[in-house]
Structure 1
Amino acid sequence: MTPAIETLATLSPTDRQRLVEVWEGAVRATHHFLCEDDIQFFKPLVRDAYLDSVRLACLRDADGCIAGFVGTNGEKVEMLFVDPAQRGQGIGRALMEHAMALGARSVDVNEQNPQAVGFYLRLGFVQYDRSEVDGSGKPFPILHLHRP
């Protein structure tokens, strides 16, 4: 049985800290193109701005700890991160299915993260554009995907 997806309408300090931990763990496990300075650049942005700019939903493990989360804004998935210790258990897929059920039809993904690119392609997304830099102007190419 798949655990229930929980909407995080307001973030407690504990939940906010855990979301940042999940983000950082996932980034370190999958974003090998980022250096430590890049991670430290993005971390306060995630904690203090990005989490508050999206509609958040999460899945918790058996102990009640957030195992993964998705953030959407309108029809776009802005973020999806899964605790690296819990990857491969269907958490990302369940979160994306939840987001798509709410109307999400597009996502941007780092081109240099082939696991994530493959994940979204397997879910039926297709590339419609590419940017040489990310939203912060850093030289990390972004693939723009949508679900027809």
Structure 2
Amino acid sequence: MIVRPARAEDILALAEVAARSYSVSFGTILEPEVLATRNAAFFAERFRSSCECMLIAEQNGKIAGFLLMTDGHIDMLFMDPAVSGQGGGARLLEAAEKRGAKSLECFRDNHGARRFYERHGWRVTRRYEREFAGRNRSFVFYEKGAAT
């Protein structure tokens, strides 16, 4: 799997990966009506203004996952469910760390993602609630190498 910067022509494929991944990742955390709004069109619009902040994991010429990072904060890291667990997420995370990734936020109940980040040396430094999609939700804030 290779990691490369995103290009404008990747936006639609990225949006499709995001929509599939979001549904699988948050299917037990968010309500169906919220998940329905996070479709490929939603993500394509989001990515149009942030493509230059994205890295792509590519496998056999196809987008397998992506990472969006702004100002040292990882905003999103998603792998296509069809290729999850094959090392692409780790490669993206490593590339982000080399580019200065220092923090990220995760749903408290996203246990798979939390195990992934903790396996790679990220530590929870704060637990809190904030509004997301019209409701208060529980989150954890991670920092690389921070003490627990």
8 Å contact kept, 1:112–1:140:
no
Distance (Å, rounded) in 1 between the aligned partners of 2:48 and 2:139: 20
1:48/1:89 CA distance change after superposition, 3 Å: same
RMSD (Å), alpha carbons: 1.9
49-58 vs 27-36, which moves further: 49-58
**Once the 2 structures are TM-superposed, how far is the Cα of residue 50 of structure 1 from its aligned partner?**
5.0
- Secondary structure of the 1:89 match is coil
Residue of structure 2 equivalent to 1:29: 24
Distance (Å, rounded) in 2 between the aligned partners of 1:142 and 1:24: 21
Which of 56, 61, 64 lines up with 1:58 in the alignment? Answer: 56
Residue of structure 2 equivalent to 1:119: 116
Query: Aligned letter for 1:107?
Result: L
**Once the 2 structures are TM-superposed, how far is the Cα of residue 137 of structure 1 from its aligned partner?**
5.3
1:39/1:58 CA distance change after superposition, 3 Å: same
- Secondary structure of the 2:64 match is strand
Residue of structure 1 equivalent to 2:83: 86
Query: Aligned letter for 2:137?
Result: F
TM-score scaled by structure 1?
0.85
136-145 vs 71-80, which moves further: 136-145
Query: Aligned letter for 2:73?
Result: K
Query: Aligned letter for 1:27?
Result: Y
Distance (Å, rounded) in 2 between the aligned partners of 1:128 and 1:137: 25
TM-score scaled by structure 2?
0.85
Q: Which structure 2 residue ranges, 5 or more long, are not aligned? A: none
Structure 1 segment 1-148 matched on structure 2, within 5 A: 3-8=1-6, 10-12=7-9, 15-31=10-26, 32-43=28-39, 44-49=41-46, 52-53=49-50, 55-62=53-60, 64-134=61-131, 136=133, 138-148=135-145
- Structure 1 runs, 4 residues or longer, greater than 6 Å off: none
Distance (Å, rounded) in 1 between the aligned partners of 2:144 and 2:96: 12
Larger strand percent: 2
46-55 vs 109-118, which moves further: 46-55
**Once the 2 structures are TM-superposed, how far is the Cα of residue 45 of structure 1 from its aligned partner?**
4.4
**Once the 2 structures are TM-superposed, how far is the Cα of residue 84 of structure 1 from its aligned partner?**
0.2
Distance (Å, rounded) in 2 between the aligned partners of 1:144 and 1:109: 6
Distance (Å, rounded) in 1 between the aligned partners of 2:5 and 2:138: 31
Distance (Å, rounded) in 2 between the aligned partners of 1:131 and 1:106: 15
What is the identity percentage for the equivalent residue pairs of Structure 1 and Structure 2? 25
- Across the two proteins, how many residue pairs are aligned to each other? 142
